[in-house]
Structures are given as structure tokens and as C-alpha cells.
A and B are shown apart, each in its own frame.
Chain A
Amino acid sequence: MLTLPIHDLPTRNASGFLLRYVLPRSLPPQLVGPTDRKFLFSTLTIGDIIIGVGHGAPSVFCGHNDQVILDVYSIPDVRGKVVILISCETAQVLGPELIKAGAASYLGFQKDLTWIVDADLASTPWGDNLAAPVMMPIVDCVNGVLDGKTTEEAFAILIDQFSRNSEVEEDELIRACLNFNKKNALLLGNPEARLRARPKIQLPLPPPPIIAPIFKI
């Protein structure tokens, strides 16, 4: 399960990187844009992984247009699944509740996931060099899980890349974002959890530009 809202600048940027580098390797259902709805999310429980981009708070995770699609009161069947929420603050309450509900591993952030984007590249976010220092470690972490690495190994990829990017980053604000996100990244559950490895599929060309309007900036 992959959920990729694209209704505003932060969701579009993060979803754009996953569209480019993760979506070709993930199995359906893939809820992109307006299809990223609570009804579909709650009923489609097949698969061994949930990868979600969206706005979040300690106990909720949102889909397209900030519709709450996952909260502590309505957790779908997550038994044995690896859950990765590319969102804010869900590691505080929702992450532990997902583990209590039987998820094998949860990976997310305790505070705001924050980074710098180039708003001029909203339709082609995968080419955003301001966002890449933060987004590519997340992409590589997700792909680590899809490669069949343990969640602990994939989490180490995230932390190592945040650190390495921070060491070479010249822009102070981007460096601060990298360190802030690194400090707030959290892995819960079984660190030895791993999925069946997916084939390494990479699109030879970038996806077509995202032309849907941005409603909020």
C-alpha cells in the first residue's frame, strides 16, 4: 500500500520523490492524489507494507486534502506489516499504537518532518535539488526495506545519509533541517522485520509533470 497525496507543496514534494523512485517497485494498491481516501485506505488491507506520505499529528495521519485516513481509533489490519509514515509527529502516539495493533515495525518522526523545497519545481519535485538532501535519504530507506533489508538496516541508511548530507551541506538552514529530522526519526517494533525483496525497477525517464493544482501554499 502506497499513499501519495499531492494537494499542497509539502505533500506534492515528498510524494513526487516517491513517485519517481519508489512507486515502480511497490505493489498495488497505490493511492495517488484524489484516490488517497479513507474509504479505500481502510478497506484495502492486502500487502505486507504501508508507505504513507501525508500531514500528521501525534495520533492521526492524513491523506489527500488532509482527510484523516488513519488514527488511533480506527487502525486497520496492520498485523505483520511494516509501516512507514513520512509525516509529522506520528511517532509520538500513532506509531506505538500501530505496534500494539500488531505491526511488525513502524518508522516515522516524533516532531515535524521539515525541509526546504523549490516551489518553482512543484510540478516536477523529483528534480528539486533543495529538497533532495532530506528526501533522498527517506527514499533510500524505503527502498532498503523493499530490497529485503531489515527495518533496522533501512533505518541506519536513513540516519547515515542524513548525517553525511549534513556534513557536506553548505546551506545552514538545510543542514539544520537534516539534523532536526535525524534527531526525530524513530524506528519502533521488531528491528529484524524484513519483507520479501522486490525487483529493483527504476523508471528510465522521470514521470510526466504533476499538473493538478496546488490548493494551499
Chain B
Amino acid sequence: MPNQAWEKLKEALKKPPTTEARKEAAEAFKEYERTKKAAGRPSSRPTLVSLGYKKPYPTAVPLEKIADELQRNPAFFEHFREVVEEEG
């Protein structure tokens, strides 16, 4: 089930970062997080981090806030898309 939700997220991230696309990606990420938790994957306070300098997005985003950041911030949407599309 997490895989299906992940694939849905990847598809949502392929679209240009319009308001609608960002909202759709945020919903898809929330669904992915829900299925991961339902599958019992261990988590404590997982946070996506990077070592960028003066980036237009935060360098530490708790996973529970990623959906909000996807919806709010086109630059983060682009960055997250670049990472996610490498999953294979």
C-alpha cells in the first residue's frame, strides 16, 4: 500500500508547480505518510534536511510538515520533485 501512495505522489510531482498541482502533491504526500504509519514503519521525528545555503526553502522540514511546504512553496515543490523522481 505505501508503494501505491508513493507512485501517486510521484505522479503528482510531475506536474508544473501550479497552486492546484501543489495542493494535489500535498494531499498525495499526506496519504503516503498515512499508509506508511498504517504499515507500522518505525518513526520518531523524521525530518528531511539538506545542506543548502540561502535556499528559498527550509533546510530542515519535518515529514509531517512536508505536505504544507509542498502546497505553500513552489521552490520546495521543485526540490522535492527532483529528489523523489530519483527513487527509481
Contacts and interface: CB of A to CB of B under 8 A. Distances in A.
8 contacts: A9-B47, A10-B60, A89-B52, A118-B44, A118-B47, A121-B44, A172-B6, A180-B86
Contact of A55 (B59, B83, B86): B59
Nearest to A9: B60
B3 to A, nearest CB: 7
B86 A115 contact: no
Contacts of A111: 82
Given A8-B60, A179-B86, A180-B86, A88 B51 contact: yes
Interface residues of B, number: 30
Interface of A: 8-11, 13-14, 53-57, 60, 62, 66, 86-89, 111-121, 130, 166, 170-173, 175-177, 179-180, 183, 216-217
Question: SS class of chain A's interface: helix, strand, loop or mixed?
Answer: mixed
A114 B48 contact: yes
A171 B6 CA distance: 10
A116 B51 CA distance: 12
Closest 7 CB pairs of A and B: A176-B87, A10-B49, A179-B86, A119-B45, A55-B53, A114-B50, A112-B50
Nearest to A131: B49
Contacts of A57: 52-54
A14 B51 contact: yes
Given A11-B51, A54-B51, 19 more contacts: A9-B47, A10-B49, A53-B51, A55-B52, A56-B53, A66-B53, A89-B52, A116-B46, A116-B63, A117-B46, A119-B45, A119-B46, A119-B47, A121-B44, A172-B32, A173-B48, A175-B87, A179-B87, A183-B86
A89 B60 CA distance: 17
B72 interface: no
A114 B54 contact: no
Contact of A118 (B6, B45, B86): B45
B50 A10 contact: yes
A13 B85 CA distance: 25
A22 B32 CA distance: 36
